Amino acid sequence: MSENKDFLRTIAEEDLATGKYKEVITRFPPEPNGFPHIGHAKSICINFGIARDYNGHCNLRMDDTNPTTEDMRYVEALKDAVTWLGFTWNGEVRYASDYFPKLYDYAVALIKMGKAYVDSLNEEEIKAYRGTVTEAGRRSVYAQRSVEENLDLFARMRAGEFQNGAHVLRAKIDMNASNMKMRDPLLYRIRHAHHFRTGDSWCIYPMYDFAHCLSDYIEGVTHSICTLEFENNRELYDWVLDALELTPPRPYQHEFARLGMNYTVMSKRKLLELVKGGYVNGWDDPRLPTIAGYKRRGYTAESILNFCEQIGIAKANSMVDVAQLEFCIRDDLNTKVPRVMCVLDPLKITIENYEGEEEIDASYYPHDVPKVGSRKLPFSKEIYIERDDFSENPPSGYFRLTPDQPVRLKHAYILTCKEVVKDENGNIVEIKATYHPESKSGADTSGIKVKSAIHWVSARHAKEVEVRLYERLYKVDAPEGLEDLNPDSLHVIPRAFAEPAVVCEKPDERFQFERQGYFYADPIDYTDAKPVFNKIVGLKDSWNKKSEPVASTPKPEAKKVHIEGEIAPMNAQEQERFERYTNTLGLNAEIANTLARDGALSAFYEEALLVFKSPVGIANIVANDVARELKQAEMLTFDAKDVAELAKLVDEGVISSSISRQVFEQMVKTGENPKAIVEAKGLTQISDPAQIVPIIDDIIAKNPENVAKYKAGNTKLLGFFVGQTLKATGGKANPSVVNALVEKALESM
């Protein structure tokens, strides 16, 4: 082990040295409700890495306690991420649902000990009784039920006699506790929902804080490693294990700082919004920070592991620059991949004094890369170069081809421009040039001095390929919502031209396209008939330089969110609003915080609510879109009634959430009524299968290879077909309807 151990490894070593544990046993316990992202990669590296370093083992356990959001395809994505990163879990994959009978028995034991009771308050009453960070809570009158009555009610909950929300099981701890997690927390809730593993055999499900610590104990976990947001949960973790008086050894929880990265969102809710709303093409879209996205884009497992090692393990949250991750993939690929030539924006050059064709020997690797390999580059009379590698009126410092300046063709000859051919609109369509036979690379006796070399391909021999250029998904370093999406995050070049070896000889699946960046043969869409390459990363970080001239409105200083366990600096009126928005209207803390602290925004929100009762839907529009316009515009072109009507159109399924963005932008520009905009532009959401099925059938018919891959087990392609369908309808199709219809169509084939 290194002398510079992180604090978690220091703890593990001390625990082994003192005999607290005989073996280090960790676990990676994700909830299977989405695809794992780069933050999960850090957790995977920590949990599996520590177990490996101390000759222990790590379990892979699915925290499948919420049947309404979980799915087997998410389980497969999590398994794939761990395997791809090079780790192996101990034994079979474990599931919290494996322990449902045992967890139920533990709950019964707590009831018998008088440490848990069945509460019949409704959700709003439970929130109201809970108190605030400055006020003690009140214990429910139902806490006085006898042990016998609690056992009876809990058994009947288990038997399915009650509807959702009728009762909950709570721990009896302390309604005056400063840590609000300890104010008689919920242990079980009723949820009549089909579970993807246990089916309908359970209708009550354990809460995370109850299931997690006991699952750790059942598995013999020693070090329960989690991120800092669970720091307040540690007291409850310990309480459950101590209250049950379990036989030692028992696990202990340790927290580390989660990964935060600029230009990136890692909230599962926001990622799901992007996928379901059709803003990206599935969970493996190369613009997403999911492991599947990085993998499809062409990132290597080694680059992700190096990144996680570089950022280290800390006790305080901080923001990591995404450029550091990009550096890691460049650094990894630099010594691995062959260098080839591909022209993305072709300009034809006819070499008037060259006849016939020849093959030029060219190495795949520069002299400083310790690898061998070469190919034959065909050279002929007609070639393509990049359009921006020629300038008729060059700026100062331009070293490529001009009417007065020759340039070297990489691996080949020096070229001199003789004539510029233009079309009737004055656009350059061809360059007529001459080459210097004595200037061949490696045997140049021409004496001609050039200042640069450019890449090229032989027009007759080049292979047509599709190239997908990816930029950052968000245009701001601290994205908050859909309004921060970068509209230029994907640029598809359907007809680029690559040297033939790339496609015919396939020396690798990753390449450095000379002077362009690193590229990867798309593992799903690539075919011999239509090669497709994804841009992994540029040769250098051009983002900051590119972004500098773009003026942007500075964001207001982030306001402190009301967090359990600490006192937020709100005045009495703001605090009252915050409590109402979270406890009564069900808003999340971030949105509630934004509205509660801004009097004008709050007033607008309240006015809209009087028109249409959609607390969450209206709040999202007001806190994100209306807030932006209030900061930027001198006068609003819409009012609260318009926003309420827009929310109503979404809630009633008239338009999709993605289309609502278009409608709002039109409201801002013209002041038109949202319903009138939808009708005039034909933006009504398409939910009728009769309209959607023909589109799906057409897409399936045009993609037989992807259908075959799906049938062979590549279920990730479901996202491809859904994305293509949404794209074909201009985002108007109902995403949930499309998802079901696509799945049905593929399964029926």
Residues with active-site annotation: 31, 258, 268
3-state SS class at 168: strand
Closest CA to 186 of 221, 233, 231: 233
The answer to whether the CB of 231 falls within 8 A of the CB of 255 is yes
Contacts of 174 (CB under 8 A, 6+ apart): 182, 183, 184
Task: Using the Cα atoms of residue 153, residue 246, residue 10 and residue 328 in order, give the sign of their dihedral.
Answer: negative
3-state SS class at 218: helix
Cis peptide before 249 (omega within 30 of 0): yes
3-state SS class at 744: helix
3-state SS class at 25: strand
Q: What CA–CA distance (Å, rounded) separates 329 from 195?
A: 39
Q: What CA–CA distance (Å, rounded) separates 376 from 685?
A: 54
Q: What CA–CA distance (Å, rounded) separates 119 from 139?
A: 10
Q: Quick one: three-class SS letters along 456-479?
A: EEECCCCEEEEEEEECCCECCCCC
Structure tokens at 545: 């330089």
Contacts of 88 (CB under 8 A, 6+ apart): none
Q: What CA–CA distance (Å, rounded) separates 452 from 433?
A: 17
Q: In what order do the strands lie in the sheet with 456-458?
A: 453-454, 407-409, 414-422, 428-435, 346-351, 382-386, 456-458
Q: What CA–CA distance (Å, rounded) separates 143 from 140?
A: 6
- In DSSP terms, 59 is beta-bridged to 27
3-state SS class at 152: helix
Max Cα–Cα distance, the chain, nearest Å: 101
Closest CA to 343 of 497, 168, 560: 497
Q: For the chain, first and last CA: distance in Å? A: 54
